[in-house]
Structure 1
Amino acid sequence: MVPDRRMAPRATLPPHPPTGLLVFQPLKRRHCAECRRGPLSLLVLEDAAPRCLDCADLGHLVFLPRGDTALTRRSREESTLSAVVVRFNRRRSRYERQGVLVEEAALARAEQRCLADAEARRRRRVRDARRRAAQDALFAEAFSAEIRRLFPGCPADRARAIAAHASERGSGRVGRSAAGRALTEGAVTSAVVASVRHLDTPYDRLLMSGVPRHEARRRIAAAVETVLRRWTEAGLGSAG
């Protein structure tokens, strides 16, 4: 079928036109050349003359707008008869897909398939979330154990809290870095230092009072070192 040149200024179909039957959304008022009904929102061109969907034996099909690729593909798979709906874009000088016409029963079957897939995806997301939660719990436990190994004097509850905070998924904190995942001494120590800085020193109050970050860190460095030494030496004392 060739587009009616009266519908748009000297336009051609795209280099790779849609396969199957073509139905047009006209830009101007058009009436069916056979039954004279109109103006038509959708039409088929036969011998360069517009026909309504009923006269073209497509009136039993329903319109599915573009946007849901899976639903469109499955609807066409399920439908014995289907057509691609196009409209001319004057600015781009080309016809563009607007959707498809498919059998109503085919669309219903396609929707059921998509719903089944959506439920399967939901269940998979739940399973994945549970698996990630279990992995995160094991990692946080290992991180906590490494804190206690490096800083035996660190209270167990505090070590667990530091590990949970540092290893929170999606946080971007040190526990989620490559070094953190490898439980390197540097990464674990960084997490402990950050906790001590915020909870055991006036660091946060200094920041709130307008002290620059680097100066605030300098002022509380000795306090941080004192806590770390106490937590480290506690293990040495018990070993002796």
Structure 2
Amino acid sequence: MVGAGPPVVVVQPRRPRLHCTECHQGPLPLLVLEHNAPHCLDCADLGHLSYLPRGNAALTRRAREASSLWAVVLRHNSRRTRYERQGILVEERALLRAEAACLADADARARRRERDAARRAVEDVRFTATLTAEILRLFPCCPPVRAEAVATHTSLRGSGRVGRSAAGRSLDEGAVTAAVRAAVRHDDTAYDALLMSGVRRDEARRRMAGAIETVLAAWRRPNPPRGSPGHSGRRDA
């Protein structure tokens, strides 16, 4: 390819109604504007190119690099008042070559995804264990099974919960406490039942605030020393 100037631009009208200035063919689903006049792809010497919609970055890159002539397809977004890329036009041979290349390394990409998934799984297990230990440090009387359940729930990858936030990942005390408080709210109080009965969320939280703090206070209380009247030899669930 000679030079690296701006790409040829092809317009995809939202409502095809224009006809080619030269051959009068139309309405045109794709057109090239030259001197503010619409031209069909054949008259613009682009009729031999194949349309590749956006969505596969690797295929688009390879097809563009293999094509001696290519054009970008744009469509006007009236709401955003701008033109947005819809895909490209490339030579058929370039598209076939790009598709073959993408198929050839599909197995390698799949293996890489599997390795990445395994690595993330190991990281998630480690973080859940670390978060469980931090919950038990802040709430030493919390049953270990409950601490692990809270950590597993709040640290689920992709959940958007507190444990996946930056504060949660750094084991910020406020974030960890918020996760435990949320678990107590749903599992140890009538909060969910209030919501189902039509009580507003803020009012339901106000009503359950005392019960939640009672549980948290009990979980924060250090274990009594062995031999003392309050020591039972085990943690109650």
TM-score normalised by the shorter chain: which range applies?
0.5 to 0.7
Secondary structure class of the residue paired with 1:7: coil
| Number of the residue aligned with 2:224 | 237
Q: Is the 8 A contact 1:167 1:173 kept in 2?
A: yes
| 1:213-232 to 2 correspondences below 5 Å | 213-232=201-220
| Number of the residue aligned with 1:203 | 191
Which of these residues, 107, 123, 140, is aligned with residue 152 of structure 1?
140
Distance 1:13 1:140, change over 3 A: farther
Q: Is the 8 A contact 2:131 2:171 kept in 1?
A: yes
Deviations 1:48-101 (A, max 9, x none): xxxxxxxxxxxxxx864333523523543xxxxx66699xxxxxxxxxx97344
Gaps of 5+ in 1: 15-22, 28-41, 43-61, 77-81, 87-96
- Letter aligned with residue 89 of structure 2: G
Which of these residues, 80, 99, 124, is aligned with residue 89 of structure 2?
99
Offset at residue 115 of structure 1 (A):
1.1
Offset at residue 138 of structure 1 (A):
1.0
| Number of the residue aligned with 1:70 | 61
Query: Which is higher, the Rg of structure 1 or of structure 2?
Result: 1
Is 1:169 equivalent to 2:169 in the alignment? no
Distance 1:13 1:117, change over 3 A: farther
| Alpha-carbon distance in 1 for matches of 2:141, 2:122 | 28
**Structure 1 runs (4+) greater than 6 angstroms displaced:** none
Aligned residues: 179
| Alpha-carbon distance in 2 for matches of 1:118, 1:72 | 16
| Alpha-carbon distance in 2 for matches of 1:151, 1:208 | 30
Q: Is the 8 A contact 1:85 1:101 kept in 2?
A: no
Distance 1:189 1:100, change over 3 A: closer
- Letter aligned with residue 206 of structure 2: R
| Alpha-carbon distance in 2 for matches of 1:148, 1:85 | 60
**Pairwise CA RMSD:** 3.6
Which of these residues, 23, 28, 33, is aligned with residue 7 of structure 1?
23
- Letter aligned with residue 42 of structure 2: Q
- Letter aligned with residue 191 of structure 2: Y
Secondary structure class of the residue paired with 1:201: coil
Deviations 1:141-190 (A, max 9, x none): 11110111111111111111100111112222111122211112211111
Distance 1:230 1:71, change over 3 A: same
Q: Percent identity?
A: 52
- Letter aligned with residue 155 of structure 1: P
| Number of the residue aligned with 2:81 | none
Q: Is the 8 A contact 1:196 1:227 kept in 2?
A: yes
